Amino acid sequence: MGVLNMAYRMERTVLVILVWGLLLETFVLVYFCIFSQTWRFEFHYTLILFIATFMAVIVLLIRAYIKLRRFKKVEDFRVKCWDSKLLYSS
């Protein structure tokens, strides 16, 4: 259980870092668009970083959603089968 908890905390920490990076990249892209500097190298570099960070956040959210669904299925199965049948069968 400790290893799973540590992996969950690590995944959550990475997700927080990526979301902050996504927020900062959004501010930089808005800055470049407001001041009409979309021709600069930094704009294109930030745009690529924004796309990569956005995809990474989506992948982590999908993985967390799948893990949560799998955990709920296991818990439902445990409650249905383990608590009702195995404890009362002698």
What is the tens place of the pLDDT at every residue in 19-75? 999 999 999 999 999 999 989 999 999 999 999 999 999 999 998 888 878 777 766
Higher-confidence position of 90 and 8: 8
Cα pseudo-dihedral 63, 64, 70, 73, rounded to 10: -150
Q: Decide: 29 and 46 in contact? Cβ < 8 Å.
A: yes
Helix (H, G, I), strand (E, B) or coil at 38: coil
φ/ψ region of 89 (left if φ > 0, alpha if ψ in -120 to 50, else beta) reads beta
Buried b (16+ CB within 10 A) or exposed e, 47-59: eebbeebeeebee
Question: Which pLDDT score is estimated for 84?
Answer: 55
Q: What is the pLDDT of residue 77?
A: 64
Residue 59: predicted pLDDT: 94
